[in-house]
Amino acid sequence: MASQANVYTSASNAVMYTDKVRISTDGNSVTYNVKIQDLADGTFPDTIFSAAVQIPPYSTQDVFVGVGNRLTVTGGNITIAELGTASSATAGVY
């Protein structure tokens, strides 16, 4: 039996369990960013993107997040589905 990925309707500093997520918007645009975990001390000092990325209304975007990193999506009427596997569980910023 295949396992099913997690699906969220919001994310605020949420730990991700797969490398990618699919963010689908309804009638609102949203922004997102990903905090990168420093494996040396377990903190989240930096983000992947220098500024939050915007997704327009009625759109779907696949986003790299990396296992163990933290996703924040600002805005409403969204679906966030984890995609793929947990292949980067040992990746991080040192």
Q: Is residue 36 part of a domain?
A: yes
Contact 20, 66 (CB under 8 A): no
Which residue has tokens 């292949």? 87
Query: CA 77, 72, 9, 31: dihedral to nearest 10 degrees?
Result: 20
Evaluate whether residue 47 is within a structural domain: yes
pLDDT at residue 3 greater than cutoff 90? no
Residue 1 included in any domain = no
**What is the predicted pLDDT for the residue at 67?**
86
Number of domains the chain is built from: 1
Is 78 part of any domain? yes
Structural domain includes residue 2? no
Give residue-wise pLDDT tens across range 37-73: 988 898 999 999 999 999 999 999 999 998 889 999 9
Sole residue written with tokens 């696949």: 62
| 93 pLDDT more than 50 | no
Q: Per the domain annotation, does 38 fall within a domain?
A: yes
Q: Is residue 94 part of a domain?
A: no
Query: Which pTM was predicted?
Result: 0.83
Q: What is the domain range of residue 70?
A: 7-83
